[in-house]
């Protein structure tokens, strides 16, 4: 079940002004937490040290502090610094299940990939808004919001980019985070 929660101060008529929230069963959430607790040591060894989202003892504040320090150091050396910030709109809603499972199978234990596959298989949802409820619809892409494992999976799916800056040029390199 997905509940549509109105975004504060937005026009109620537009569907884009609602935030979808998945209501997941307690058993589903418990299974996810047990799996994540068991797999966390393996995952932490695979992630880039620059990854801060959703990990214990890490936060975006660490990223902001590191960026600020980098900019200040470059400024003191009379060097220019540029930054690019990307906001992946609807990132949870567009995750390709097959691609995610393929990526997980290359670095995670078999049992974990199979568990994620089972949790994503044959998913259906319906939307409840006010007194109205839609019919059931299949979910082919995306991850349920509110899912503990889905936050983990979202850190596995993007490509990590690093920018190497020389005196008058730069090189953008990419590598998979997992």
Mean pLDDT in runs of 10 for the chain (178 residues)? Answer: 83 82 85 88 72 69 84 91 74 80 86 90 80 85 77 57 46 40
Return the structure tokens found at 7.
Answer: 């975004």
Work out the burial of residue 101: count CB atoms within 10 Å of its CB; fewer than 13 is exposed, 13-18 middle, 19 or more buried: middle
Q: Which string of b and e fits 152-162 if b means at least 16 CB within 10 Å? A: bbbbbbeeeee
Name the residue among 37, 38, 58 with its Cα closest to residue 47.
58
Q: What pLDDT does residue 77 have?
A: 93
Q: What pLDDT does residue 120 have?
A: 86
Determine if the pTM surpasses 0.85. no
Query: Who's near 157: CB < 8 A, 6+ residues apart?
Result: 95, 99, 100, 103
Return the structure tokens found at 57.
Answer: 């003892």
Q: What pLDDT does residue 16 have?
A: 81
């Amino acid at each position: 079940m997905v509940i549509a929660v109105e975004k504060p101060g937005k026009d109620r008529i537009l569907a884009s002004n609602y935030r979808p929230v998945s209501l997941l069963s307690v058993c589903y959430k418990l299974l996810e937490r047990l799996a994540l607790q068991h797999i966390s040591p393996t995952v932490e060894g695979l992630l880039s040290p620059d990854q801060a989202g959703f990990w214990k003892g890490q936060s975006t504040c660490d990223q902001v502090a590191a960026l600020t320090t980098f900019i200040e150091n470059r400024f003191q050396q009379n060097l220019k610094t540029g930054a690019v910030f990307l906001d992946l709109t609807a990132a949870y809603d567009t995750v390709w299940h097959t691609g995610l499972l393929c990526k997980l199978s290359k670095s995670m234990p078999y049992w974990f990939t199979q568990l994620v596959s089972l949790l994503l298989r044959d998913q259906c949802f319906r939307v409840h808004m006010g007194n109205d409820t839609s019919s059931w619809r299949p979910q082919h892409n995306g991850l349920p919001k509110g899912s503990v494992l889905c936050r983990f999976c979202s850190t596995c799916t993007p490509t990590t980019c690093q920018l190497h800056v020389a005196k008058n040029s730069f090189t953008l390199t990419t590598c998979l985070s997992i």
